[in-house]
Amino acid sequence: MTSHYVIAIFALMSSCLATAGWSAMARSWLTATSASRVQAILLPQPPEY
C-alpha cells in the first residue's frame, strides 16, 4: 500500500467522522503518520552488500 492510498483513506475517514474530538484525533494521527512516512522516505538508505 503506497502512501497515497494511506493519505486518501485517512482523509476519507476524517471527513466521515461526526464529532470534533474524533476528527481532531484523526487529523493529528494522520499528520503524525504522514510526517513519519516523509521522514522514512527522505532518510538516506545505506547501500546493500
Domains of the chain, residue spans: 3-42
Alpha-carbon distance of 25 to 21, in angstroms, equals 6
* DSSP type of residue 49: -
Do residues 29 and 14 make contact, with C-beta atoms less than 8 angstroms apart?
A: no
Gap between the Cα atoms of 34 and 3, Å rounded: 8
Per-residue pLDDT tens for 1-44?
567 777 777 776 666 655 556 667 767 776 766 666 655 555 56
Split at pLDDT 50, 70, 90, the class of 47 is: low
Residue that wins the pLDDT comparison between 28 and 46: 28
DSSP state of 1: -
Provide the sign of the torsion angle of the four alpha carbons 17, 20, 26, 31, taken in this order: positive
Confidence (pLDDT) at 22: 66
pLDDT at 9: 72
Claim: this prediction has a pTM higher than 0.75? no
